[in-house]
Amino acid sequence: MLAAAAALLTPLASVAPAQALAPTPITSSRVAAAAPAPDDEKIAGFTLAVLPDTQFYSRYATTEEGKQFQTRYGTEPYTAQTTWLAQNKDELGIPFVTHLGDVVDQVSQPNQWIVADAAMKKLEVGGLPYSILAGNHDVLNGCEGTGCTDTDRNLGNEPYLKTFTRARAAAQSTFGGRDSTGFNEYHIVKEGGQEYLVLALSWQTSDAGMAWANSVLDAHPTMPTVLTSHQILNIAGDGVTAIDTPFGQKLWDRVIRGHNQIFMTLNGHHHGNANRVKTNDAGSPVLQVVNDYQMAYQGGNGYLGLYEFDFTNKRIVANQVSPWVVAKPKNLISEFDQAVLTGANEQYTVPFDLTARFSAIAPGFDPGPADHTSYSAKAIEILHKDFVEPTRPVREPAANANDYFHAENTVAHWQFPGADGQVVPVGSTVADLTGANPLKRAPLINGAAEGDVKISSSHHYLSPTPTSMCFTNTNRNTGRHSYLETALTAPLNDQQFAAGYTIETFVKIDPSWTSNDHRWMTALSSGGSRGNAAGADPELTPFFMAVSNLREVQSSAWPINSTAKTNWSGEVMADTWVHVAAVNDPNTQVTTLYVEGAPVLRNISAAVGVRAVVDAAWKLGAGSEWGAPDAGWFGCIGETRVVAQPLAPSQWLTSRTETASAQAGLASFADTFERTNGALGSSWTAARGIWSVSNGTARNPDAAPGNNLAVAKTRELGDSWSVTSTMAVAQYANNRHWIGVAGNVHGEGNSLSYYTLRVAPHDQNDQAARWALLKVTGSTTLSVLQGTLNFGATTYAADRTKPVTLSLSRTGSVLRASIKDSTGATVMKASQTVPDDAAFTGGLTGLYSNTGDISALDFAMTTSREATTPGAATATLAADGRDAVVSWKAPTDDGGLAVTGYTARLMRAGQIVAEQTLPGDARSARFATLPAATYTAIVVASNASGMSTAPAEQSGETKVVAVAPAAPAAPETAGGPGAMPVMWKPVSDDGGSPVTSYIVTLLQNSQIIESREVSAPALVTTFSDLLPGFYTATVAARTAAGTSMPSVVSNESAVEFRAGEFGIVAITMDGANGTLALGVPSSMTAQIGNPTLIDNQSVSTGTLGGITVSDTRFLSRDGWTLNAKVSPFVNGADPTIIIDARQLGIAPRVVSSTAEQVAASPAQTAGESLYPAMLAGAPAGTKPGESVIDAALTFVSPTDKLAGTYKSMMSLTLVSR
Q: What is the CA radius of gyration of the chain?
A: 38
In this structure, what DSSP letter does residue 282 have?
Answer: T
**Which range, 177-191, 531-545, 727-741, has the best average confidence (pLDDT)?**
177-191
Q: Amino acid letter at 639? A: E
Residue 379 CA to residue 360 CA, distance in Å, equals 31
Q: Give the model confidence (pLDDT) of 164-177 as tens digits.
A: 999 999 999 999 99
Q: Give the model confidence (pLDDT) of 17-49 as tens digits.
A: 222 222 222 234 444 343 445 557 899 999 999
Q: DSSP letters along 730-768, please? A: S--TT---EEEEEEEEE--TT--EEEEEEEES--TT---
Q: What percentage of the chain carries pLDDT values higher than 70?
A: 91
Lowest model confidence (mean pLDDT) among 245-254, 284-293, 607-616, 708-717: 708-717
Bridge partner list, 255:
none
Give yes or no for residue 8 having a pLDDT over 50. no
Q: Give the model confidence (pLDDT) of 314-335 as tens digits.
A: 999 999 999 999 999 887 788 8
Report which of 116, 138, 137, 120 is spatially closest to residue 129, judged by C-alpha positions.
120
Strands (E), 137-205: 175-178, 185-191, 194-201
What pLDDT is stored for residue 660 in this prediction?
41
Residue 1180 CA to residue 274 CA, distance in Å, equals 84
Order of all β-strands in the sheet with 429-430: 429-430, 439-441, 484-486, 619-620, 521-525, 543-547, 552-557, 565-571
Residue 610 CA to residue 670 CA, distance in Å, equals 40
Q: Give the model confidence (pLDDT) of 53-100 as tens digits.
A: 999 999 989 888 778 888 778 899 999 999 999 999 999 999 999 999
pLDDT band at 146 (very low <50, low <70, confident <90, very high): confident
Give yes or no for residue 838 having a pLDDT over 60. yes
Three-state SS at 194:
strand
What pLDDT is stored for residue 478 in this prediction?
95
What pLDDT is stored for residue 662 in this prediction?
40
What pLDDT is stored for residue 249 in this prediction?
96
Q: Tell me what the mean pLDDT of segment 949-953 comes to.
A: 74
Give yes or no for residue 732 having a pLDDT over 70. no
Give yes or no for residue 1025 having a pLDDT over 70. yes
Q: Give the model confidence (pLDDT) of 825-836 as tens digits.
A: 888 888 899 998
Q: Tell me what the mean pLDDT of segment 1080-1092 comes to.
A: 75
Q: Tell me what the mean pLDDT of segment 1007-1029 comes to.
A: 90
What pLDDT is stored for residue 393 in this prediction?
67
Average pLDDT, the chain: 86
Q: What percentage of the chain carries pLDDT values higher than 90?
A: 53
What pLDDT is stored for residue 661 in this prediction?
40
What pLDDT is stored for residue 237 in this prediction?
65
pLDDT band at 1003 (very low <50, low <70, confident <90, very high): very high
What pLDDT is stored for residue 956 in this prediction?
85
Lowest model confidence (mean pLDDT) among 525-539, 624-638, 682-696, 1054-1068: 1054-1068
Give yes or no for residue 763 having a pLDDT over 80. no
pLDDT band at 918 (very low <50, low <70, confident <90, very high): confident
**Which range, 352-366, 821-835, 846-860, 865-879, has the best average confidence (pLDDT)?**
352-366
SS (H, E, C) 1182-1211: CCCCEEEEEEEEEEEECCCCCCCCEECEEE
What pLDDT is stored for residue 667 in this prediction?
47
Element holding 480 (H helix, E strand): none
Give yes or no for residue 377 having a pLDDT over 70. yes
What pLDDT is stored for residue 444 in this prediction?
96
pLDDT band at 668 (very low <50, low <70, confident <90, very high): low
Report which of 223, 56, 206 is spatially closest to residue 146, judged by C-alpha positions.
206
Give yes or no for residue 1081 having a pLDDT over 90. no
Lowest model confidence (mean pLDDT) among 418-422, 496-500, 1086-1090: 1086-1090
pLDDT band at 943 (very low <50, low <70, confident <90, very high): confident
What pLDDT is stored for residue 767 in this prediction?
56
Give yes or no for residue 3 having a pLDDT over 70. no
Q: Give the model confidence (pLDDT) of 1135-1182 as tens digits.
A: 778 888 899 999 999 999 999 999 999 999 998 899 889 999 999 888
Residue 819 CA to residue 757 CA, distance in Å, equals 9
Q: Give the model confidence (pLDDT) of 437-478 as tens digits.
A: 999 999 999 999 999 999 999 999 999 999 999 999 999 999
Give the end-to-end CA distance of the chain in Å, rounded to a whole number.
Answer: 69
Question: At 804, phi and psi to the nearest 5?
Answer: -125, 155
What pLDDT is stored for residue 392 in this prediction?
67
Three-state SS at 309:
strand
1108 touches 1188 (CB < 8 A): yes
In degrees, rounded to 5, the angle at the alpha carbon of residue 592 between the alpha carbons of residues 888 and 566 is: 130
Total count of residues recorded for the chain: 1217
Give yes or no for residue 796 having a pLDDT over 80. no
pLDDT band at 1128 (very low <50, low <70, confident <90, very high): confident
Task: Give the predicted TM-score (pTM) of the model.
Answer: 0.55
Give the torsion through C-alpha atoms of 1129, 1133, 1134, 1135, to 10 deg. Answer: 40
Q: Give the model confidence (pLDDT) of 514-565 as tens digits.
A: 999 999 999 999 999 998 877 888 999 999 999 999 888 999 999 999 899 9
Q: Give the model confidence (pLDDT) of 711-727 as tens digits.
A: 998 778 887 888 999 88
852 against 120, higher pLDDT: 120
1122 touches 1211 (CB < 8 A): no
Residue 471 CA to residue 482 CA, distance in Å, equals 7
Q: DSSP letters along 1123-1170, please? A: EEEEPPEEESS-TT-EE-GGGEEEEEEEEEESSSS-EEPPPB-TTT--
What pLDDT is stored for residue 794 in this prediction?
60
398 touches 462 (CB < 8 A): yes
What pLDDT is stored for residue 31 in this prediction?
44
Q: Where are the alpha helices (DSSP H) in 194-234?
A: 207-219
What pLDDT is stored for residue 234 in this prediction?
93
What pLDDT is stored for residue 795 in this prediction?
67
Q: Which positions ≥6 away from 1117 have C-beta within 8 Å?
A: 1180, 1181, 1182, 1183, 1184
1115 touches 1105 (CB < 8 A): no
Element holding 902 (H helix, E strand): strand 901-908
pLDDT band at 730 (very low <50, low <70, confident <90, very high): low
Buried b (16+ CB within 10 A) or exposed e, 728-764: bbeeeeebbbbbbbbbbbbbeeeebbbbbbbbbbbbe
Q: Tell me what the mean pLDDT of segment 874-893 comes to.
A: 87
Three-state SS at 862:
strand
Residue 554 CA to residue 894 CA, distance in Å, equals 35
Helices 110-125 & 77-88 angle (0-180, nearest 10):
10
